[in-house]
Chains A and B, each alone.
Chain A
Amino acid sequence: MQTLNRRTFLKFSGIVAGSAALAACAAPAAPAPAAGGEQAAAAQEQALVTYLVRTDIGTGMLEWNDKAVADFTEKRPDIKVEMIGVPWGDYNAKLLAMFAAGTPPEISANYAAGFATFYSNGAITPLDDFVAGTNTDLSIIEQAAINAVTRQGKMWAMPLAHMPVLAFYNKAMFDEAGLPVPPTDGNDKSWNLDKMLEAASAMAHDVEDPTKAAWGMSFPTGQLGAYCWRWGFDPFNDKGGPELTEAYQTGKVTEAFYDRPEMAEFFQWHIDLTYKHGVAPRPSDTDAMTQTVGWPIMSGRLGMAVDGAWQFTNFVSVKPEWEWGVAPLPYGPADLNTPPLFNDSWMLSAGAKFPEAGFDFLKYLALENGSKLYAEMTGFFPANKENYGIFFDAIQAIPSFAMTREGIEEVFNTSFDLGYPTPGKTLESFPEWNTAFNQTTAPMMNNETTVAEGLVTLQTQMETIIATKA
């Protein structure tokens, strides 16, 4: 954390200064002409692809977008890509505003809302015709990632990243406590909740005194309770795991089962981490810390942090001095360790003015040189299988990374085998479910109400939303 981003800063400021200088020559700061007329006029010679990009720092996304767009423009002078930068927290608001204006960006990503929300609102175009029309070979993209963005037999977005949830750990703290680090094989059932708690207890100390505190672990409960899969239960069906939930296939939630005992056990286990075992910071603290200080494990005072594989991006930019590694999710009471799988997929807007050019750009980003740069620069795990090696090389280049190549490959491979797409990427209107879930579970997670009461509130809220959708 101390050494944050100095290098990234300089690199980035160079890029921005460069583009600012170009912009300064091109036009005075006076208002630019409206995009619509310009596009129509330019249609003959050059297709204009507008591309909505997130501008938050520290993920490598900015650098990647700049480099990829520059490279693509060189290869395809007939297409002009115009990046529209938006703050990360406002990505969806901006996207909606652009749709409302009838000027959607050709290309955008399905970050917070999942592709299903855009699909159900008729905002995106299926890619199959373009794939067929250009003889594009999709076999190099992980099939599970393609499945996750497929509805009614059509592919609605182009996966760039495909990432399981993993258990990151601070090896230095494990060593200090005299513990062996977790295994790399996702099929190793000895790595279970009890084992994890045991390790966390050994590493936690002084949790009452924030100046000296070290915590054993942090474990999220989000994604509408998907982590309950390891209890052999899914909140949207009453028979078993996620593979039995119809809502994940259709995107439409019609029933919820948050009032079941499995759900109660799952929440109780998580709440006990903080309030009974004293090994985890309060969930609200973890959130506040993430918002202000950054991801808590980067402080070096947290033994393990369960989170998505996108968090490698933090290690790439921070490069901590202490040794660290990563393990699969621990097994739960039902002898399962199903990790939720996330995809970041790029979408082609319905009503895009230059859909062919847009698809060519997508292809470049997902299948060609753009995807190589993505694997190398962003710290997000690529969906393009040909680039796995580039990603692993990039991670292994971090000096404090304390795992073998075989080790990290095994972690990823077994996690993909065992995982299931997360509700956040498959359910329609995910933001709405997610807000309801986060709001109503908060008192329970803060130990201000019992799990039994909390789940009644949660269930009632979910049923209310289901009723409004009927």
Chain B
Amino acid sequence: MATSTMRFRVGRRRSEQLRKIFGFLFLIPGLLWVLMPTAWMFSAAFSSLAQVLRFPPDLLPNPWVWTNFYEGFTFLPFGRYFMNSLQISIIRVIGQVFSASLAGYAFARLRAPGRNFLFVIVLSTMMLPYTVIMIPQFVIFKELGWINTYKPLTIPFFGGGAFFIFLFRQFFRTIPEDIFEAARLDGCTYFGIYWRILMPLSVPIVATSAILIFQNSWQDMLGPLIYLNSNKLYTIPLGLATFRSSFGSSPWNLIMAVSIGAAIPPVLLFFFGQRYLLSGIIVGEK
């Protein structure tokens, strides 16, 4: 018994090492592949415009131009756009996480007639192309007087969204049922269970949803383009589209600098939130 465990441990260690070596051999070309466009963007963000346009392309900036970031963010009011994007994204994250978690809880643990039917409806909205509803939605927003406000970019999402409702439901279903029953017997209300028992246990899934929702909102270009009219309400992606030239040369170095600067919040969120992402997403069951 003891010897077999020993042998197993040794074998396991060796195969583990093998795996790591193989893994790294594969990861490096992949890394280069992923990095090529990204590296080009980085390099451009630190180059002069003349150097960006040079052929053959230089792989490293020469000389390094640090002022692109400052110039890019002051050239258009990108500081303001940044704050606008942040505001929209945060409002959307709060509203969407709240309602998706409530709906997820309902689907995971509450019994009601029509539950399964409604769940199928929720899932099938994932298949609905946005283009189907885009135009009538626009007319509705107009009737509600929401054009040129942030409402069309936030409130419709307060429904939770199929994907996130699904994620929450999956997560809540992994929490042992006995907890719910015990809480009910202790006289805890359904909302009490959600708020006092479920939410504290749900840090991974809340973080996961928040990261993903933030990112969706942060990158949205079409919504702000169609719904916003005032320059002062514009968001980062819309500002970036504005940055281009129609038939002259666009300031690529500044565009790249702003793009990279704008990617910092979602990158930080991902970097620090990834351990939640990895434990929060549970799709592998029915």
Q: Do chains A and B touch in the complex (CB under 8 A)?
A: yes
Chain A residues with a Cβ under 8 A of chain B:
1-2, 4-5, 9, 12-13, 16-17, 19-20, 23-24, 27, 29, 31-37, 50, 54-59, 82-90, 93-94, 97-98, 100-103, 210-211, 290, 292-295, 298-299, 310-311, 313-314, 317-318
Let me know if B75 and A12 touch, CB within 8 A.
yes
Least CB distance from B135 to A in Å reads 7
Stretch of B16-24, B28-36, B203-211, B239-247 lying at the A interface: B239-247
Let me know if A90 and B80 touch, CB within 8 A.
no
The reply to whether the CB of B216 lies closer than 8 angstroms to some CB of chain A is no
Report the Cα distance A85→B224, complex, angstroms: 12
> Would A101 and B233 count as touching, CB distance under 8 A?
no
Collect the chain A residues with CB atoms within 8 Å of residue B249's CB.
1, 4, 58, 293-295, 298, 318
**Is B50 in the interface zone, CB < 8 Å from A?**
yes
Is B77 in contact with chain A by the CB < 8 A criterion?
yes
Given A20-B80, A23-B230, A294-B245: 5 more A-B contacts, CB < 8 Å: A33-B149, A54-B246, A58-B247, A58-B248, A295-B249
Tell me the minimal C-beta distance from B139 to chain A in angstroms. 7
Interface, chain B (partner A; CB < 8 A): 49-50, 53, 55-56, 71, 74-77, 80, 83-84, 87, 135, 138-139, 141-142, 145-151, 225-226, 229-234, 238, 241-252
B225 contacts A90, C-beta separation under 8 Å: yes
Please measure, in the bound complex, the distance between the C-alpha atom of A330 and the C-alpha atom of B229, giving whole angstroms: 44
A58 touches B50 (CB 8 A): no
Known: A1-B53, A12-B75, A32-B148. A294 touches B138 (CB 8 A): no
Q: Is the CB of B135 within 8 A of A100?
A: yes
In the complex the two chains form, is B74's CB within 8 Å of A17's CB?
A: yes
Asked if residues A35 and B242 are in contact (CB atoms below 8 Å), the reply is no
Query: Which among B53, B76, B84, B241 is the interface contact of A16 at CB below 8 angstroms?
Result: B76
Could you show 15 A-B contacts with beta carbons less than 8 Å apart?
Answer: A1-B249, A2-B50, A12-B75, A20-B80, A31-B150, A37-B145, A58-B248, A85-B231, A87-B242, A98-B229, A103-B142, A210-B56, A293-B53, A295-B248, A311-B247
Contact assessment for B233 and A32 in the assembled complex, using a CB-CB cutoff below 8 Å: yes
Residues of chain B contacted by A4 (CB below 8 angstroms): 49, 248-249, 251
A59 to B245, CA, bound (A): 8
Q: Which residues of A contact B225 (CB under 8 A)?
A: 86-87, 90, 93-94
How far is A293 from B245 in the complex, measured between Cα atoms in Å? Answer: 10
- Chain B nearest Cβ from A124, distance in angstroms: 19
Known: A9-B251, A23-B232, A100-B139. Is A59-B148 also a contact (CB below 8 A)?
A: no
Measured CB to CB, the nearest residue on chain A to B154 is: A31
Q: Which residues of A contact B147 (CB under 8 A)?
A: 34-35, 101, 103
Q: B246 to chain A: which residues have CB within 8 Å?
A: 54, 56, 58-59, 88-89
Query: When chains A and B are docked, how far (Å) is the Cα of A2 from the Cα of B48?
Result: 9
Q: How far is the CA of A27 from the CA of B149 in the complex (A)?
A: 13
**Within the assembled complex, what's the spacing in Å between the Cα atoms of A19 and B76?**
11
With known contacts A4-B249, A56-B244, A89-B244, A32–B55 Cβ distance under 8 A: no
A23 to B87, CA, bound (A): 17
In the bound assembly, the distance between CA atoms of A24 and B230 in angstroms comes to 13
Question: Residues of B contacting A86 with CB < 8 Å?
Answer: 225, 242
Neighbour of B87 across the interface among A29, A34, A89, A90, CB < 8 A:
A29
Instruction: Find the B residue at minimum CB distance from A301.
Output: B55
Shortest CB-to-CB span from A372 to chain B, Å, is 23
